């Protein structure tokens, strides 16, 4: 499949700083969403229903924004031509199921392996996925060559995350048998990088992240509804709702992550976007633990320095492109 898309070209380091701030904001939305969904789960006692509610709220907001604004409707008008021309394939519309799968891996594994191991597994999956999807050209920028800066930055990201969560790892006291569960969040992070690459394809084809973000939430909502319905058939359910308004902010926070991620992939490629959002995840988690601590929150020197090291890893991986005054990704036939 050929593409006429060429990634936007930042002309100065200041533009890269702005893009980095967007990556951090996008990544920080993930731990905030996790806090909100965890609180909703505690309130209603059903993690699958909590995830379904989160996706459903996001879907409703996106439907209102996309169909209720002229810009949104114009972007939707570009969907059919993009499909006919082969720039968008039918399976791109299933990318939202990956987001739902990621939420389920979080629900199923985090209580058994702990937040620290979960974080390391997800970050490793995201980093490996970013390298692979950029190399094979899944993102809108096409194939991107690996270089020592990108590979070194990716490795430094994983090491930085290991350092940042090392206090929790040391305090977990778990045996090695449960490490098999690590494959769940590892695969979730790996596929999440592919989701961002496909979302970038949507964003580039429609000249807007709105339709792709909407398709993500609709597919994810449908996937979770099917899972919840299956659970209802097998074990029965007792649907409940929370009366606390901020318990329903998981959907809007997810919109921030998906929409900004789709936009960033078109500018810097899958790997750099993933690394920047990983740094944002750690920074967001650090701020939450400091400002709104919960039982089990642990902030040490390693946490702070490891978080800072992820920022250095992003700069290292981006250094050749920053010096050239433009990003590396360009489309290839």
Confidence of residue 61 (pLDDT cuts 50, 70, 90): very high
pLDDT digits (tens, 9 = 90+) for 298-313: 777 887 888 888 888 8
Confidence of residue 9 (pLDDT cuts 50, 70, 90): very low
| Helix H or strand E encompassing 144 | none
Distance of CA 303 to the CA centre of its chain: 21
Confidence of residue 289 (pLDDT cuts 50, 70, 90): confident
pLDDT digits (tens, 9 = 90+) for 115-163: 667 777 888 888 888 889 988 989 887 888 778 888 888 888 888 888 8
pLDDT digits (tens, 9 = 90+) for 184-210: 888 988 999 999 999 999 999 999 999
pLDDT of residue 247 exceeding 90: yes
3-state secondary structure 271-297: HHHHHHHHHHHHHHHHHHHHHCCCCCC
Measured distance CA(132)–CA(121) in Å, rounded: 17
pLDDT of residue 8 exceeding 70: no
pTM above 0.75, yes or no: yes
Residue appearing with tokens 């499949």: 1
Q: Given this model, what pLDDT does residue 72 score?
A: 93
pLDDT digits (tens, 9 = 90+) for 43-60: 998 888 988 999 999 999
Q: Given this model, what pLDDT does residue 330 score?
A: 44
Instruction: Please state, rounded to an integer, the average pLDDT across all residues of the chain.
Output: 83
Q: Given this model, what pLDDT does residue 139 score?
A: 87
Q: Given this model, what pLDDT does residue 10 score?
A: 47
Confidence of residue 103 (pLDDT cuts 50, 70, 90): confident
Burial of 304 (0-12, 13-18, 19+ CB in 10 A): middle
Using a pLDDT cut of 90, give the percent of the chain over it: 36
DSSP 143: -
Is the torsion defined by CA of 44, 185, 17, 62 positive or negative?
negative
pLDDT digits (tens, 9 = 90+) for 19-29: 999 999 999 99
Reference 220, options 186, 191, 181; nearest CA is: 191
Reference 322, options 15, 1, 6; nearest CA is: 15
Residue appearing with tokens 């939305």: 29
Reference 159, options 313, 297, 299; nearest CA is: 313
Angle, CA of 17, 23 and 28, to the nearest 5°: 125
């Amino acid at each position: 499949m050929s593409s006429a898309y060429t990634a936007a070209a930042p002309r100065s380091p200041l533009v890269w700083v702005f893009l980095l701030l967007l990556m951090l904001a996008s990544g920080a939305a993930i731990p905030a969403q996790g806090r909100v969904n965890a609180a909703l789960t505690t309130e209603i006692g059903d993690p699958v229903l909590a995830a379904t509610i989160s996706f459903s709220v996001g879907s409703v907001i996106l439907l209102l924004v996309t169909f209720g604004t002229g810009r949104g409707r114009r972007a939707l008008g570009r969907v059919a031509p993009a499909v006919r021309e082969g720039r968008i394939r039918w399976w791109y519309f299933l990318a939202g199921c990956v987001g739902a799968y990621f939420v389920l891996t979080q629900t199923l594994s985090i209580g058994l392996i702990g937040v620290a191991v979960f974080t390391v597994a997800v970050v490793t999956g995201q980093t490996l996925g970013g390298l692979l999807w950029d190399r094979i050209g899944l993102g809108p920028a096409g194939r991107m060559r690996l270089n020592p800066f990108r590979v070194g930055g990716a490795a430094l990201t994983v090491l930085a995350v290991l350092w940042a969560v090392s206090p929790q790892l040391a305090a977990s006291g778990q045996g090695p048998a449960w490490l098999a569960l690590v494959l769940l969040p590892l695969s979730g992070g790996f596929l999440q990088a592919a989701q961002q690459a496909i979302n970038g394809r949507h964003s580039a084809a429609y000249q807007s992240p709105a339709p792709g973000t909407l398709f993500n939430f609709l597919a994810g909502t449908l996937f979770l509804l099917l899972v919840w319905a299956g659970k209802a058939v097998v074990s029965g359910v007792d649907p409940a709702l929370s009366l606390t308004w901020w318990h329903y902010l998981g959907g809007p926070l997810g919109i921030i992550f998906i929409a900004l991620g789709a936009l960033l992939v078109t500018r810097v490629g899958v790997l750099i976007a993933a690394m920047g959002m990983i740094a944002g995840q750690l920074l967001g988690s650090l701020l939450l633990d400091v400002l709104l601590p919960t039982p089990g929150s642990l902030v040490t020197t390693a946490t702070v320095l490891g978080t800072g090291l992820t920022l250095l890893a992003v700069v290292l991986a981006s250094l050749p492109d920053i010096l050239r005054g433009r990003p590396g990704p360009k489309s290839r036939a």
